[in-house]
Amino acid sequence: MKRDALGAGVAFAVGVILIVGGASLQRGVPVWVLIAPLALTCAGVVVRRRAPLASLGLGIVGITLDGFVGPSLATVLVFTDNLYAAALYGPARFARVLLGVTAALAVAGGAVAWVLAEDWRMLTVMGVQAGLVLVTPVTTALVLREQRDRANAERVRAEQVAHLAELDRQAAIAAERTRMARELHDMIANHFSAIAIQSTAALSRKDLDQATVRKIMESVRENSVKGLAEMRSMIGLLRQEGDDSAEATRPRLADAETLVDRVGRAGLDTELRVEGEPRELPVGVDLAGYRILQEALTNALKHGDSPVRVLVAYEAGRVLLWVENAVGGRGARLPGAGAGLIGMRERAALVGGTFEAGPSFLQGSPSFHEAFSERGSPRAEEAEETDCRWWRVAAVLPTPEERSFAIVPGEYGRSGAAVSGGGGSQRS
């Protein structure tokens, strides 16, 4: 506002000098009469940004009066700024209408001059002059307005791109944090669950001989050392920028026997059966299979009873995992937070596989029945003879040759459910 007022003052001072110097059509009127229209157009300059339409209105009144008493060059020049401000700062639709009106007035002014002077050359002279006064300011304002609007649109687009990039960054961070939490849970829970269970057993028994205590402490030490080693390995991988050493240090499904032996040394009767020829698996499938098996055995150690039966079957285009353990009525040895089942399901889904866990007997699901029913899973008759319940974890992980194996949801049993009554419960 102050800048516009200063500009209006300068324009008025220069206009007065032009009028006094004779830059007007002399009609024998006093000088102050020519100054009055100039003052109106300069008043329009003061409000050109805040009220562009009012600025144009003052300019039209001033140029009209100046046409009767002059006209003067100063008032005409200031009026061009009134037109420019109205087209630049006024409504966009009004600016387009103003361009058409000024063009029509320029043509009409040239035609009137031609008729009055009866000289066709006056059409060109007056048309060009009217075009310079009326059309040129509006056209200039429209060009600048378009550039301004385009710059604003680009700025908004840049802000949106930056916002989307920030959302992508946050999503990537959240996904990485979830992956790290899943890895740490699967890695630590297996070792430290065994440590907690064995140390609790050693503290609760007063009749253990020195050899038994030593065996328990050796198992505790082994689990703690391996747990720390895996944690150091993961921290080392996180600190590295490349993936050169990841292949050599990542867990593999071929190490299933080590996992099963560890649970056996913790006090559960275990049985491992491997079918098919073990082969090199894709990195994602290999890691997912290892972690699912590790977490299922950890759940059996924390919440289950003997026996624990593990099946790893290598088939064409897929790998089958089956872990089942008896569930007694004494409840869980250690509390669970429910993250294990979620993590196993996520791992299977990430490689395009399927996962089910629950306490019910194998029934209903054609896909799972075909995959597992003939592989020695407990039958209902066996359960009745031993008077026990079973908790089962089953996963199908496709390799790149086949990724279409599916589980019918709800047919295998209630995923993640707990056995009520005398059957106990199991959860992760």
Tens digits of residue pLDDT in 298-312 = 888 877 888 888 999
Residues pairing with 262 in the sheet: none
Q: Which of 127-131, 249-253, 315-319, 394-398 has the lowest mean pLDDT?
A: 249-253
In the structure, what pLDDT confidence band is assigned to residue 409 with cuts at 50, 70 and 90? very low
Cα torsion through 293, 298, 300, 306, rounded to 10: 100
In whole angstroms, what is the distance from residue 356 CA to residue 122 CA?
93
In the structure, what pLDDT confidence band is assigned to residue 401 with cuts at 50, 70 and 90? low
Above 60 in pLDDT, residue 417?
no
Number of H helices, E strands in the chain: 14, 5
In whole angstroms, what is the distance from residue 188 CA to residue 190 CA?
6
In whole angstroms, what is the distance from residue 342 CA to residue 349 CA?
11
In whole angstroms, what is the distance from residue 393 CA to residue 405 CA?
17
Nearest to 106 by CA among 133, 84, 85: 133
| Rounded mean pLDDT, 339-365 | 76
Contact 19, 31 (CB under 8 A): yes
Contact 337, 397 (CB under 8 A): no
Contact 379, 292 (CB under 8 A): no
Of 24 and 242, which is predicted with more confidence?
24
Residues pairing with 393 in the sheet: 323, 357
DSSP 398: E
Query: E-strand spans in 220-304?
Result: 270-275
Express each pLDDT in 177-217 by its tens digit. Answer: 777 776 666 666 666 667 776 677 677 777 777 777 777 77
Write down the pLDDT at residue 54: 92
Q: Within a 13 Å sphere around the CA of 188, how many CA atoms are in the beta-carbon half?
A: 10
In whole angstroms, what is the distance from residue 63 CA to residue 318 CA?
88
Of 325 and 235, which is predicted with more confidence?
325
Locate 12 and state its tokens: 């008025």
Averaged confidence pLDDT in the chain: 76
Contact 76, 63 (CB under 8 A): yes
- Distant-in-sequence, close-in-space partners of 236: CB < 8 Å, separation ≥ 6: 245, 249
Locate 85 and state its tokens: 């401000």
- Residue 392, φ and ψ in degrees, nearest 5: -125, 140
Express each pLDDT in 78-136 by its tens digit. Answer: 999 999 999 999 898 998 898 888 888 888 877 777 777 667 676 677 778 778 888 88
- Distant-in-sequence, close-in-space partners of 271: CB < 8 Å, separation ≥ 6: 307, 308, 309, 310
In whole angstroms, what is the distance from residue 67 CA to residue 24 CA?
10
Tell me what percent of the residues of the chain surpass a pLDDT of 70: 73
End-to-end CA, the chain: 69
Above 60 in pLDDT, residue 362?
no
DSSP 107-157: HHHHHHHHHHHT-HHHHHHHHHHHIIIIIHHHHHHHHHHHHHHHHHHHHHH
